[in-house]
Structure 1
């Protein structure tokens, strides 16, 4: 196993931990200045044009409006596949929303490294209209 492969899996776990801890600065610090976050991939109410949140300022706005707006979130990764400078995690995110509502988002979450210890892309494959539906469900 190469160190670059190990690094991106570790970066993914650090990203998930920082989001779960609601540690904005730690989460944002994992990304390159020109990174892209597509969560979910394609057009959705979170990104109507479907192009993703590109660059540090856009990713910070994504954090503030999505991650920062929930009470709690916890990642449960069932399987993880390493391929070069990328990792694909299959699992779910358990989210506690303000007002007591909870949501489970099932999907595939991919991370790509810049090869120098930072995240260049985070892409989340899940169905906005059916967040609890996922692989094998």
Structure 2
């Protein structure tokens, strides 16, 4: 069930989260990159994984752009369904399910908590995606 109204509030971090998800869904790389502070950190997922074996994340615009090129751009479509959202201080934590579809039609479902932190200008300083790769991989379907 979609609950877009959950993230409709005008908290700065919630606004940034909404803009980030929208840019990813639409495949707008430059728009997405522009949402991040120059020294921002993306941890997606948090900790070591096949996307980041050392678990250090991707810091700075160059590394964030490489993250897009290496991972985000390989997915044909993203569907974000936010079940709940909690915004306070400089952060917003979204309880979400992301469904990804590859170009050949394979899908994967990622249940996660996405924590966005913004600076005083509303730029994202960190995006921490808490999800379990093994759990997500277990949902991988074969191409249509």
Do they superpose with TM above 0.5? yes
Q: CA deviation at 1:132?
A: 7.4
Correspondence for 1:50 among 42, 46, 55:
55
Matched, 1:37 2:42: yes
Matched, 1:110 2:115: yes
Q: CA deviation at 1:56?
A: 0.5
CA contact (8 A) 1:106 1:132 kept: no
Correspondence for 1:130 among 116, 135, 138:
135
Q: CA deviation at 1:66?
A: 1.2
Question: How many pairs align?
Answer: 129
Matched, 1:19 2:27: no
Residue 71 of structure 1 corresponds to 76
User: Please, what TM-score do these two structures have when normalized by structure 1?
Assistant: 0.91
Gaps of 5+ in 2: 1-9, 139-144
Q: RMSD of aligned C-alpha atoms?
A: 1.3
User: Please, what TM-score do these two structures have when normalized by structure 2?
Assistant: 0.86
Residue 95 of structure 1 corresponds to 100
Residue 10 of structure 1 corresponds to 15
Distance in 2 (alpha carbons) for counterparts of 1:48 and 1:100: 27
Distance in 1 (alpha carbons) for counterparts of 2:120 and 2:110: 29
Structure 1 segments of 4 or more deviating over 2 A? none
